[in-house]
Amino acid sequence: MPSRSKHILYALLIIALVVILDQTTKYLIRVSLAPFETITIFPLLNLVHVQNKGAAFGMFRGLGNTFFIVISIIAIVFMIWVIVTNKEHYGIFSLLAGGAVGNLTDRLLFGSVTDFIDVHISRYHWPAFNVADASLTIGILLFVLQMIRKKN
C-alpha cells in the first residue's frame, strides 16, 4: 500500500489522465463532426457528435445546467475527500473523480456534455457516451465488485 502522499499523487495522475483523454477526444469530435454527424468505425460502433444537456442518457435535462454543475462539484469534493482519507479506494475514486471533472469541464465551457461513442446492434442504439462516462461506469462497477468481494 503506498504512503499517503504517493497515493494522492497516483490519484491525481489518474484523474489528470482521464480528464486529458476525455477532453482531447471531445475536442476532436467537436472540430471534426457536425452535430449528429456519424462515422461508422465497426459494424457495432459509430462516432457521432451529440451535445447532452442532461445527465446519463440525456435524462433530467429539464433540471438545467446549473443543477448538474452544483451536483458535480459536490460529488468531486466528496471523491477528493475519500481519496485523501482512504488509501484503499483511491484508484476507484480517482476514476470517478476524473469522469466527473471531465463532464463538469464541458458543462462549464459549453453548457452541455459532448458525447460521441455510439454502440449499437442493428437499429438499436445504446445512448451515446464519452470517455468521462466510461471512466465513471468502470469506477462504479469496480466499487460494486469490491464491496461484493468484501461482503463475501
What is the predicted pLDDT for the residue at 55?
Answer: 65
> What is the C-alpha separation between 46 and 57, in angstroms, rounded?
16
What number is the average pLDDT over the span 131-150? 94
pLDDT tens across 66-113, in order? 888 999 999 999 999 999 988 788 899 999 999 999 999 999 999 999
Higher pLDDT, 62 or 29: 29
Helices 4-32 and 65-85 cross at an angle (nearest 10°) of 150
Question: Catalytic site residues?
Answer: 115, 133
Pairing of strands 45-52, 38-42: antiparallel
Mean pLDDT of the chain: 90
Give me the percent of the chain exceeding a pLDDT of 70: 91
- List, in sequence order, every residue forming a beta bridge with 45; answer none if it has no partner: 42, 119
pTM recorded for the entire structure: 0.89
What number is the average pLDDT over the span 57-66? 64
Cβ atoms of 10 and 90 closer than 8 Å:
yes
What number is the average pLDDT over the span 52-64? 65
What is the predicted pLDDT for the residue at 145?
Answer: 94
